[in-house]
Amino acid sequence: MAQCLFDWAERNYAGFLQGASPAVQAGEYFYRYYAQSHAYLGLSGRDNHLYYLGPAFNNLITDLGPAGDWIARAGCQ
């Protein structure tokens, strides 16, 4: 599910998510790093929210809301 969401986000927010590396699981987080845009996109297993860290939000960790909302928007099953 996370892979589908990350792939969708890369297509729809390409200006913020460029140069994707393989997704990584670290503890309760599943995330992907974007080298060209110096950003991270991750899912938290703790609260099931989508998070962004990068220049779009002044390099602050930003809660983008419930992952379920984003998964539905992306059409991931």
The model's pLDDT over 28-51, given as tens digits with 9 standing for 90+, comes to 999 999 999 999 999 999 999 999
Using CA atoms, how far apart are residues 16 and 34, in angstroms rounded to an integer? 9
pLDDT bin (cut points 50, 70, 90) of residue 1 is: confident
End-to-end alpha-carbon separation of the chain, Å?
Answer: 7
Pairing status of strand 49-53 against strand 29-34: unpaired
Regarding pTM above 0.85, the answer is yes
Q: Which domains does the chain have, with CATH numbers?
A: 2-74 (3.30.1120)
pLDDT of residue 58: 97
Answer yes or no: is pLDDT of 19 > 90: yes
Give Cβ neighbours of residue 1 (< 8 Å, ≥ 6 apart). Answer: 71, 76, 77
